[in-house]
């Protein structure tokens, strides 16, 4: 069963930039309003051409709606996520968080087996987190599509 609206984010170890820089999402998103979105894989077509670029383009509009931070998570290593963020000029706009062993993704119950991507990956989703609690969760119906988890959908929810 996946995480539900009204539940707190689980503690986990994500990496930002390098494996030595760890982030606990329960702490990082424990205060304020945040948008966290997940992709099946860095540099994959839908993620690279649509999902991440949309959040980068709309980062200021989301912040204007009261969002303190925006973060992207994927079951990739920290170096891949860092390179992907640099390729899209994400610094200061979207935090690039790696979940190399899928432990956070599994704790959320949002994992999917994707043999074409090498095994366990994250379903594509976006959530709004307020003071560590999930207030909205948009999971793509097939786990991979590009509709309800995109930046414009989250902006609409934020009003």
| 6 found inside a domain | no
- Distance CA(102)–CA(119), nearest Å, equals 10
| 68 found inside a domain | yes
Whether 148 is a known active-site residue: answer: no
The CA distances from residue 62 to 80, 107, 109, 149, in Å, are 25, 27, 26, 14
| 7 found inside a domain | no
pLDDT at residue 112 greater than cutoff 80: yes
Name the E strands within 59-117: 69-74, 95-98, 111-114
The mean pLDDT of the chain is 95
pLDDT score at 1: 79
- Distance CA(20)–CA(87), nearest Å, equals 21
Percentage of residues in the chain having pLDDT higher than 70 = 98
| 131 found inside a domain | yes
Q: What is the CATH number of the domain that holds 67?
A: 3.40.30.10
| 1 found inside a domain | no
Per-residue pLDDT reduced to its tens digit, 32-91: 999 999 999 899 888 899 999 999 999 999 999 999 999 999 999 999 999 999 999 999
Structural domain boundaries, residue 125: 14-158
- Distance CA(29)–CA(134), nearest Å, equals 10
| 76 found inside a domain | yes
pLDDT score at 45: 84
| 2 found inside a domain | no
Catalytic annotation, pick one of 9, 12, 39, 47: 47
Tokens 């999402």 correspond to 25
Q: Cα 62 from chain centroid?
A: 15
The number of folded domains in the chain is 1
Encoded tokens for 31: 């205060």
| 24 found inside a domain | yes
């Amino acid at each position: 069963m996946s995480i539900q609206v009204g539940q707190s984010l689980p503690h986990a170890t994500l990496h930002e930039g390098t494996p030595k820089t760890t982030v606990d999402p329960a702490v990082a998103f424990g205060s304020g309003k945040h948008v966290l979105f997940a992709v099946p894989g860095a540099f994959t077509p839908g993620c690279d051409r649509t999902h991440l670029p949309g959040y980068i383009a709309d980062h200021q509009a989301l912040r204007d709606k009261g969002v303190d931070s925006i973060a992207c998570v994927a079951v990739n290593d920290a170096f891949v996520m860092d390179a992907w963020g640099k390729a899209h000029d994400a610094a200061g706009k979207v935090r690039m968080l790696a979940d190399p062993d899928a432990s956070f993704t599994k704790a959320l119950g949002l994992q999917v087996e994707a043999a074409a991507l090498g095994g366990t990956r994250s379903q594509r989703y976006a959530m709004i987190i307020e003071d560590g609690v999930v207030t909205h969760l948009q999971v793509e119906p097939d786990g991979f599509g590009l509709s309800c988890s995109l930046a414009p959908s989250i902006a609409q929810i934020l009003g």
